[in-house]
Structure 1
Amino acid sequence: MDLPNTSSLRHRNVPAASTQVSEAGMEKDKRLDKHEVYEFGGPWGVTAMMTGFPILMYYLWICLWFYDGQLVFPSSVDDIQPFLGRMWGHVKQDAFPTPYAFAMYGSLMAFQLLLAFIMPGYQQEGLPVPSLGYKTLMYNCNALTCWYTTLVTVTVLHWTHIFRLTEIIDNFGELMTVAMIVGFAVSFAAYFITIWRGEQIRMSGNFAYDLFMGACLNPRLGSVDLKMWLEVRIPWVLLFLIAVSGGCKQYEVYGYVTPNMAFMILATGLYINACAKGEECIPQTWDMFHEKWGFMVIFWNFAGVPFTYCYSIVYMASHDPSKYQFSTIGYVALYATILTAYYIWDTSMSQKSRFKMQTQGTFKFRKTFPQLPWGTIENPTYVQTEHGNRLLTSGWWGYARKMNYTADWVQSFTWGLVVGTASPIPYFYSVFFITVLVHRCGRDFERCAIKYGKDWDKYCEIVRWRFIPGVY
């Protein structure tokens, strides 16, 4: 199939008309900006998730820390009550939200918010938002300077013994509870403040469902976009600090850090650094452009990501290294896999976001480290839609529609693989993540089919595969 000539699509050299939305496109955008159908099982489904997920977090942590990383269940019907009593006992004794835990978690949140206000950053214009009459928002992308400042700060605090990083892993249960409390509190506050201000959009009329999905789209506190701040600064910074805390704990107990724990420090470090160095690409994503700021996003970033994606770290920090040692070849394969997956994920995300910026005429090359080869596509091919948008068909996006998801999932799988078969719980991240990605992919494709019509069919003929080229 012949594709449009794209020789003129280089950096900012894009006709202004390429960013305009047709009248028919505007009508479709209006439809997509309204609540039509329930997702996630509707009110009952989201209520079950809001109540069940915190319980699941406690259960998996208890199994990981107190039961040798194995899943435990009542041995009989008669054992159900005693079993629940033991579980509750662990929560009360080892996960009670102490003032010290509130101080630790609250200090990190306050510090990250302060840095977001005061650190210099890169100004990036977002995509036109249909909900705002196609107005574009400016984003102060200063995550990189905040990230480096955080690294220096925690290093000084640790080496001067003002705050030893081992305190994070030693108080994991208490911190997790505090994170859950903050997640619930901010979710309710964001919902009611939005309703009070009359700024709610895309509402269903059902309280539980609207609380879960959110009422506001682009909440801001001065110059800080709260949704982007929360998604970039909090979960991944905290997850990295948990990994470093686990490494410090190993060094304190054994006098060395295992290659497995070093792997997790590298993996989480790569992830937060990628988010920070390429923060200007985030305003082009679905999360910023369409997803509302509700419990699903707020709780997950305050509590879910940092306290569930870290299960391999928690296991290694509390168990003898002999339980999960690999051969030299095993370690080489593990590190090679994460670095390859990271490269594909980093460059695919960069290609897509920079293509959108090229189309909008807002792309400038930002010098941050590391800038990987093939992060920007020269002369990209695309499908020009009647809606007005362009669908990228070259780079990684010519192989599959969601190559970034595939690479991201492979990374998540290695985060469980790092402990081998010692415990099934660290694989929770990859199992949960593939479920989320498949569901999100379905939501995205359904939305695109409505938005682009026959142009979406044309695009799918060109890029046949969803996740894995030649397979699916």
Structure 2
Amino acid sequence: MVSVTRSKSRSRTPQTPLEEPETPVRGRRSAATPKKEASKAVKKTTGDSKKPVKDHRIDDSGELEFGGVFGTSMVMLGFPLLMWYMWVGQAYYNSQLPLPEAGQSIVDFVKDLYVKATLCAFPSLKAWFVYWAFLAYQCVLYIVLPGVWAKGNPIPHRDNIRLDYFCNALWSFWVTVFTALGLHITGVFKITDLIDNFGEYMSVGIFSGIIVSFIAYYSALARGAEHRMTGYFIYDFFMGAELNPRIFGIVDLKMFFEVRLPWFLLFLISIGAAVKQYEIYGYVTPQVCFFLLAHWLYANACGKGEELIVTTWDMSHEKWGFMLIFWNMAGVPLTYCHGVLYLARHAPSEYQWSVGYNTFLFIMLLCAYYVFDTCNSQKNRFRQQERGTLLKRKAFPQLPWQTIENPTFIKCEAGTLLTSGWYGLARKVHYTADFFQMMSWGLICGFESPLPWFLPSFFMAMILHRAKRDTDRCAAKYGPAWEEYKRQVPYLFIPYVF
């Protein structure tokens, strides 16, 4: 039987939570790394009882996500093709979906798509250099800029060690922005090149994501660092082999790729669109300004709340494989931008909305962001409160209700379930807020092109799938406590509605 209780967390709140210094100080710590183990996983036994001990390198659950081998192989094959398909639509079909012409065979249509893709998206040497120079620059900034330290979740197969994470993404973000503007002003690198030659950078991102995925997978195997392997190559390659890959002692690769590369690059693309529009028309439209705000909010949120990311599911459970690597190197920055690409490639006269409509969307974006920001903050600060690692920061903007005082929760052997704040209203309210942000990104572009609506449509499917993954895992992990949580918080996405 699992004992389920509900109590106040005052007694669990640390008496001396960690404080961020007024001026962050850079420091280095070498996170503990697992000892090299044999690449062939075997079952181990304890000394006296001879009781089998589960080998963390083996996933014997029998459960395969994302449709197993077939589903993951289709994702790895289909998503890069979809990215090229959509860009051909932007470049050659007036931001419409490419379709066969009357009387054109499917074979001829596919050949035509291939020719057009090679013309508008061939990865030039310049694009390779710029993309990887950007990546290398981010790595340098990760190491040299000031920041703060945060502790991750316990790692069961490593004696519950809690890795130290160095967090300075906010410093890196602003240094990156001013560096990009400086390069543009001096003529060393025109930021509008991200718009003019977007296809080249997109292809580099696609191929780079694939290459890094292979390096990450075989590097983990060579070092004996694999974790939860099923034995199905395609599935394991998609999900990843290693849980906590690090380089230079300080650079956590999962956090590095998730926080900096996708969102910084997405914001730079928006800046490129704004600069290009100003150069052509002498002004920047409210719609492009909307994307500047929207993409800044996301990039800045990742930086100002980086210390909260270290306790998320992605950091503590997801392995570093194709799913995370490709998505962060190509998927997010080079597909989430189709709305602003559409605006940059069309005359402002094609999307002149009323002042009232524009104002409504700005308000919708800011309200959804507020719920998204405070909801994620409440959850992750609660985790830090429990473990005595609460890190109070002053990074802008610190919004009201980011920390719950004396939160209520359900406690069981497997952990705790927060029942206060936003999570006392709906179990996945942060997904709802995130979706409304994505919806506003589509609405600001109108309905003349389907390409800006790829993101809201894809995001809806993704969060529904992820919500199911989360729910299934929580039900298995928490058992009766999860049923009690659903009783206390019956709504999934929208409080008092659904």
Q: Quick one: which of 11, 17, 38 aligns to 1:8?
A: 11
Report if aligned partners of 1:179, 1:302 keep a CA contact under 8 Å in 2.
Answer: yes
- CA deviations on 1:104-146 (whole Å, 9 max, x unpaired) are 1111111001111111211001111123221100000011111
Show the counterpart of 1:23.
none
Q: Quick one: which of 292, 298, 303 aligns to 2:325?
A: 298
Moved over 2 A (4+): 5-14, 27-36, 75-79
What is the percent sequence identity of the aligned residues? 48
TM-aligned CA deviation for residue 304 of structure 1: 0.5
1:74 is aligned to 2:77: no
TM-aligned CA deviation for residue 237 of structure 1: 0.3
Report if aligned partners of 1:184, 1:295 keep a CA contact under 8 Å in 2.
Answer: yes
1:39 is aligned to 2:47: no
Q: Quick one: which of 155, 159, 165 aligns to 2:181?
A: 155
Show the counterpart of 2:45.
none
TM-aligned CA deviation for residue 419 of structure 1: 0.6
TM-aligned CA deviation for residue 35 of structure 1: 4.3
Please identify which structure carries the higher strand content.
2
Give distance in 1, aligned partners of 2:446 and 2:103.
33
Give distance in 1, aligned partners of 2:8 and 2:285.
52
Matched to 1:365, the amino acid is K
Give distance in 1, aligned partners of 2:206 and 2:61.
28
Q: Quick one: which of 113, 135, 152 aligns to 2:161?
A: 135
Report if aligned partners of 1:10, 1:378 keep a CA contact under 8 Å in 2.
Answer: no
Give distance in 1, aligned partners of 2:313 and 2:6.
25
Over 3 Å counting, the alpha-carbon distance change for 1:376 and 1:214 in structure 2 is same
Alignment partner of 2:308: what SS? helix
Over 3 Å counting, the alpha-carbon distance change for 1:426 and 1:112 in structure 2 is same
Alignment partner of 1:125: what SS? strand
Matched to 1:108, the amino acid is F
1:392 is aligned to 2:413: no
TM-score between the two structures when normalised by the length of structure 2 = 0.89
Give distance in 2, aligned partners of 1:7 and 1:226.
35
Q: Quick one: which of 438, 449, 452 aligns to 1:426?
A: 452
Give distance in 2, aligned partners of 1:75 and 1:416.
27
- CA deviations on 1:161-193 (whole Å, 9 max, x unpaired) are 221110111110000000011100000010001
Q: Quick one: which of 230, 235, 259 aligns to 1:209?
A: 235
Give distance in 2, aligned partners of 1:197 and 1:185.
18
Matched to 1:357, the amino acid is Q
How many residues are treated as equivalent by the alignment?
Answer: 459
Matched to 2:233, the amino acid is F
Report if aligned partners of 1:35, 1:203 keep a CA contact under 8 Å in 2.
Answer: no
Please identify which structure carries the higher helix content.
1
Report if aligned partners of 1:348, 1:375 keep a CA contact under 8 Å in 2.
Answer: yes
TM-aligned CA deviation for residue 2 of structure 1: 8.9
Give distance in 1, aligned partners of 2:15 and 2:197.
50
TM-aligned CA deviation for residue 7 of structure 1: 3.6
Alignment partner of 1:8: what SS? helix
TM-aligned CA deviation for residue 36 of structure 1: 2.5
Report if aligned partners of 1:94, 1:174 keep a CA contact under 8 Å in 2.
Answer: yes
Q: Give the unaligned 5+ runs of structure 1.
A: 15-26
Give distance in 2, aligned partners of 1:111 and 1:138.
22
TM-aligned CA deviation for residue 261 of structure 1: 0.4
1:360 is aligned to 2:369: no
For structure 1, which segment, 267-276 or 68-77, has the greater mean C-alpha deviation from structure 2 after superposition?
68-77
Report if aligned partners of 1:234, 1:302 keep a CA contact under 8 Å in 2.
Answer: yes
Over 3 Å counting, the alpha-carbon distance change for 1:103 and 1:30 in structure 2 is closer
Report if aligned partners of 2:192, 2:272 keep a CA contact under 8 Å in 1.
Answer: yes
Report if aligned partners of 1:347, 1:375 keep a CA contact under 8 Å in 2.
Answer: yes
1:113 is aligned to 2:139: yes
Report if aligned partners of 1:9, 1:379 keep a CA contact under 8 Å in 2.
Answer: no
For structure 1, which segment, 3-12 or 50-59, has the greater mean C-alpha deviation from structure 2 after superposition?
3-12
Q: Quick one: which of 285, 291, 295 aligns to 1:268?
A: 295
Over 3 Å counting, the alpha-carbon distance change for 1:266 and 1:47 in structure 2 is same
Alignment partner of 1:466: what SS? coil
Q: Give the unaligned 5+ runs of structure 2.
A: 18-52
Q: Quick one: which of 204, 214, 218 aligns to 1:178?
A: 204
Q: CA RMSD in A?
A: 1.9
Report if aligned partners of 2:209, 2:329 keep a CA contact under 8 Å in 1.
Answer: yes
- CA deviations on 1:72-110 (whole Å, 9 max, x unpaired) are 311457432332222112211111111011111111111
Give distance in 2, aligned partners of 1:170 and 1:140.
36
TM-score between the two structures when normalised by the length of structure 1 = 0.94
Q: What are the residue-to-residue correspondences of 1:98-109 with 2, within 5 Å?
A: 98-109=124-135
